[in-house]
Amino acid sequence: MELKDKVIADLHIHSRFSRACSKNITIPKLVEYAKIKGVSLLGTGDFTHPTWLEEIKENLVEKEGLYYFQDFPFVLTGEVSLMYTQGRGRRVHLVLLIPSLEVVDKINAYLDTKGRRDYDGRPIFKISCEEFTREMKNIDEKIEVIPAHIWTPWFGVFGSKTGFDSLAEAFGEQVKKINAIETGLSSDPKMNWKVKELHDKSIVSFSDSHSFWPWRLGREATIFYPIESYDDLIKQIRENSFFGTIEVDPAYGKYHFDGHRVCEFSCSPEESKKINGICPKCGQALTIGVDTRVEELKNTDEKPENAKEYFVLLPLHELISLVVGTSLATQKTWKIYNRLLEKFGNEFSILLDVSREDLVRELNDYEQLVELIMLNREGKIKVKPGYDGVYGEVVISEKQNTLF
């Protein structure tokens, strides 16, 4: 894919004030590693947290609804967790895109009437999806409400544990104000095409990153045409007119297959059905994963008319660590990674654009890595599916074994 004149955006990230996040996340660090990755537009994340919001106000300068750190643009974004009762207990995460700091202050004033927002970057409120969306639109029609990682069991709007069977059920009359959904790591656009209700929604992808490391930041992203303002961004989302998305193999996600982490057991939807969703090792119910849930709600084999192109990629650190036999963050992995950056600019250029010939010239001592990069570009690297909170693992196929 030619990256020239494209904007690769990761609009669902978190600050150091969200749970289970790196305590070293700062705005300068996010910009530094976004450029290394090849991401050219970031969400700020966590606008609801008072301390992080102060850092946003101190460090970023507004122009046309985008907020710049030096030459790098951000969009004001955050995530809320709605936990409430509608028929049964519901837990739904929503990502918000916000047009201005003035609107951020209005949202926070509203949330302060519903609960605290100073204890976590992703605060919890007892508000329904329908009510919350209505209130956001009453504050400003330019606020974009996007259901986050919609299939994950515990916090996706379609999740097996606490979700709904349709967007209409979750959002009621406000469903017409939902213009986009986020795939999450455990699903890809093709899986979402199986639900007819989603055919008139934009399908976007973001990382939900809890750190600034390039194997997390931008691991999923949306590719836009040139953006000069917040209005440009929202127009492309609402009209489904952006270029496409970057996805990891959905098997890489932590909830793709059904499984029981404690017993180290996982299985496909077909196998799960045979055992009635019960762990054969301990007899407890399995956590029903995304693959099974998609099949439960599937109601079409048609491809949407305006379906976007998408690219299935594993992070470059994953490929390097496979070749050198070390973990993602070791000096040996970083040394090869930085060598490639120095030659080719950023990670997405390496993964998507640099020719085989140029890679061979630079990596003549790591021919295996060249082959993995090319297989990755073609979506041909096998992944053992993740389950019940466990990430998927790259599997060296018979073809790839000949490389080692």
CB 35 within 8 A of CB 346: yes
Question: What are the tens digits of pLDDT across the range 205-254?
Answer: 999 999 999 999 999 999 999 999 999 999 999 999 999 999 999 999 99
CB 286 within 8 A of CB 269: no
Q: Is the pLDDT of residue 269 over 80?
A: yes
Sequence-distant (≥ 6) Cβ neighbours of residue 101 within 8 angstroms? 56, 57, 62, 67, 76
Question: What are the tens digits of pLDDT across the range 112-139?
Answer: 999 999 999 999 999 999 999 999 999 9
CB 147 within 8 A of CB 237: no
Which residues are 181's β-sheet partners?
A: 203
Cα–Cα distance measured from residue 218 to residue 175, given in angstroms and rounded to the nearest whole number: 28
Residue 54 tokens read as 């102060």
Positions of CATH 3.20.20.140 in the chain? 7-251
Q: What is the residue-averaged pLDDT of the chain?
A: 96
Q: Is the pLDDT of residue 404 over 80?
A: no
Residue 274 tokens read as 């045979």
User: End-to-end distance of the chain based on CA atoms, in angstroms?
Assistant: 28
For the structural domain made of 7-251, what CATH number should be given? 3.20.20.140
Cβ atoms < 10 Å from Cβ of 152? 30
DSSP letter for each residue of 211-244: S-STTTTTSSEEEES---SHHHHHHHHHTT-S-E
Q: Which residues of 90-100 are buried (b: 16+ CB within 10 A; e: fewer)?
A: bbbbbbbbbbe
- pLDDT at position 403 is 39
- H helix or E strand, kind and range, residue 280: none
DSSP 256: S
Q: Which residues of 123-143 are buried (b: 16+ CB within 10 A; e: fewer)?
A: bbbebbbbbbbbbbeebeebb
Q: Which of 304, 339, 309, 333 is nearest to 321 (CA)?
A: 333
- pLDDT at position 4 is 76
CB 250 within 8 A of CB 256: yes
Q: Which residues of 168-194 are buried (b: 16+ CB within 10 A; e: fewer)?
A: ebbbbebbebbbbbbbbbbbbbbbbbb
For range 78-104, the mean pLDDT: 98
DSSP letter for each residue of 235-255: HHHHTT-S-EEEE--GGGSTT
- pLDDT at position 3 is 74
Cα–Cα distance measured from residue 285 to residue 277, given in angstroms and rounded to the nearest whole number: 6
Cα–Cα distance measured from residue 304 to residue 198, given in angstroms and rounded to the nearest whole number: 9
- pLDDT at position 401 is 41
Question: What are the tens digits of pLDDT across the range 317-376?
Answer: 999 999 999 999 999 999 999 999 999 999 999 999 999 999 999 999 999 999 999 999
For range 150-174, the mean pLDDT: 97
Residue 305 tokens read as 């008319």
For range 156-176, the mean pLDDT: 98
Question: What are the tens digits of pLDDT across the range 359-393?
Answer: 999 999 999 999 999 999 999 999 999 999 999 99
Q: Which long-range contacts (CB under 8 A, 24 or more apart) does 55-59 make?
A: 55/26, 55/27, 56/27, 56/101, 57/101, 59/27, 59/28
Task: Grade residue 395 by pLDDT with cuts at 50, 70 and 90.
Answer: confident
Task: Grade residue 397 by pLDDT with cuts at 50, 70 and 90.
Answer: low
Task: Grade residue 1 by pLDDT with cuts at 50, 70 and 90.
Answer: low
